[in-house]
Structure 1
């Protein structure tokens, strides 16, 4: 009986963490713009008034991220009404800036100087890239964790 109770506790405690809103510390995380201006993550979200926002977390040196960026470029052609925010976790600001030259996507680009290990990265439980989030007009998180563009397409239909 004790084993059965222990097993049920373990299985129920492994539920997926899926917040619907960003917490205050993650919203206060500072990122860098292309011009190297520091901006809070909350300001990025406020500046976007689209019905839906897709956030793509990537690194320009990562082959998986490069493939996902190509997929997003095709996705953008069919979904122009969506606001696109790209957050890079490249090794340095300069690596990110060089990588921007070859990106096939359009949108708002920012660099995470904490490389995903800061408050925002911990909130997102960021362990792998690429990573996608989808937000609605109220900036509520509708998709918290997806690594495939196909999953994003399914959820937006």
Structure 2
């Protein structure tokens, strides 16, 4: 009897893990979440995406205080050189705008920059189920999420998604 219950429990776990699908599109709430650009203007995520329509977008959720984020920058810059046709979109979880801008300048991060004013628990962060940064995503030329979650630039799925 115990063996049967254990088998049922294991089967249930396997099926429940398989049932979770990786999103290929953003929720309406995530699309409507607002960010701040370098000029201090608020912009909805969907407006951001529409400005890169027809282009592949590499999303990097980061912060200037994040050790893993900063240590990964040399690798990221290599990826940028290899994929010059890709838009690199940096979404910052810094504690304030001043630190965010200082981090961009200090680390010479080239790309499109926005401050996540709603933070980890805002609609965008909740959609991503943010639990760690850096967090990388790839959005294809049709606006579909090609890679939903990666936390290491050495992840082979990043290379596959950018091809």
Q: Where in structure 2 are the equivalents of 1:45-124 lying within 5 Å? A: 45-124=49-128
Which structure has the larger Rg over C-alpha atoms? 2
- TM-score, normalising length: structure 2: 0.89
Deviations 1:13-62 (CA, angstroms, capped at 9, x unpaired): 12454100001010000001111110000011000134311000001111
Report how many residues are paired. 157
Moved over 3 A (4+): none
Displacement of 1:81: 0.2
| Contact 2:34–2:118 (Cα < 8 Å) also in 1 | no
Q: Which residue is equivalent to 1:126?
A: 130
Q: Take 2:140 and 2:161, find their aligned partners in 1: how far apart are those partners?
A: 12
**Unpaired runs of 5+ in structure 1?**
none
The partner residue of 1:153 within 150, 153, 159 is 159
Q: Which residue is equivalent to 1:11?
A: 14
Question: Please, what is the CA RMSD of the aligned residues?
Answer: 1.5
Deviations 1:101-133 (CA, angstroms, capped at 9, x unpaired): 113332110000122210110100111000100
Q: Take 2:21 and 2:63, find their aligned partners in 1: how far apart are those partners?
A: 24
The partner residue of 2:30 within 26, 32, 35 is 26
- TM-score, normalising length: structure 1: 0.92
**Unpaired runs of 5+ in structure 2?**
none
Q: Take 1:69 and 1:23, find their aligned partners in 2: how far apart are those partners?
A: 29
Q: Take 1:70 and 1:39, find their aligned partners in 2: how far apart are those partners?
A: 29
Name whichever structure is richer in helix by fraction: 2
Q: Which residue is equivalent to 1:35?
A: 39
